[in-house]
Amino acid sequence: MRCEEKCNPGSSLCEAGYQCAPDGLCVRECSGTPVSVGEDCENSLDCAPCSVCLSSGAALRCRQPCRLDRDCPGGAPGACEQVGDTKACRLSL
């Protein structure tokens, strides 16, 4: 059991230093590669700070949000991919 505050991904209803994840939960906004990238999740609260829970094939996995390829580790072309309504760094699993 845990408390969750829902937000709208298109708005800024989260506190300063937080962003709205695609599943409508406020998560910490920061830089660096989150430690939970690639791990299974049920929602964004299962992921480490700075990552969100997104569909990856048949499973939900923690992903690092991005806007541009350079926001992802290595910054290679195509590193930041469209995942549903948001963008996330490509998983290298």
27-41: pLDDT as tens digits = 777 666 778 899 999
More confident residue, 88 or 1: 88
Residue 72 · residue 81 · CB < 8 Å: no
Residue 81 belongs to a domain = yes
Task: Tell me whether residue 74 is in a domain.
Answer: yes
- What gap in Å lies between CA 25 and CA 17, rounded to an integer? 14
What is the CA angle 38-40-43, rounded to 5?
A: 110
In a domain, 82, yes or no: yes
Domain count, the chain: 1
- pTM beyond 0.85: no
Q: In the prediction, which pLDDT does 78 show?
A: 94
Report if residue 49 sits inside a domain. yes
> Does residue 3 fall inside a structural domain?
no
Domain that holds residue 70: 33-89
pLDDT band, very low/low/confident/very high, at 63 (cuts 50, 70, 90): very high
Torsion-angle region of residue 30: left (phi > 0), alpha (psi -120 to 50) or beta?
Answer: beta
Residue 16 lies in a domain: no
User: Does residue 55 fall inside a structural domain?
Assistant: yes
Average pLDDT over residues 47-73: 89
Residue 79 lies in a domain: yes
